[in-house]
Amino acid sequence: MNKESNRISTKGMAMIIIIAVLLVDQLTKIWVKTHMHLHECIDITGWFKILFVENNGMAYGMELLGGKLVLSLFRIVAISVLAYYLYKEVKRNANRLYVACVAMVWAGAVGNLIDSVFYGMIFNAASPFYVSYFVPFGQGYAPMLMGKVVDMLHFPLIETHYPEWVPWVGGNEFVFFSPVFNVADACISVGFVMALLFCRDEIAKISLFKHVDDNNHSQTKDK
Catalytically active residues, by annotation? 151, 185
Residue 135 has φ and ψ, to the nearest 5°, of -125, 165
For 40-55, give one letter per residue: b (16+ CB within 10 A) or e: eeeeeeeeebbbbbbb
Report the C-alpha gap between 142 and 135 in whole angstroms. 12
Q: Is 87 left (phi over 0), alpha (psi -120 to 50) or beta?
A: alpha
Taking alpha carbons only, the member of 207, 7, 18, 206 closest to residue 102 is 18
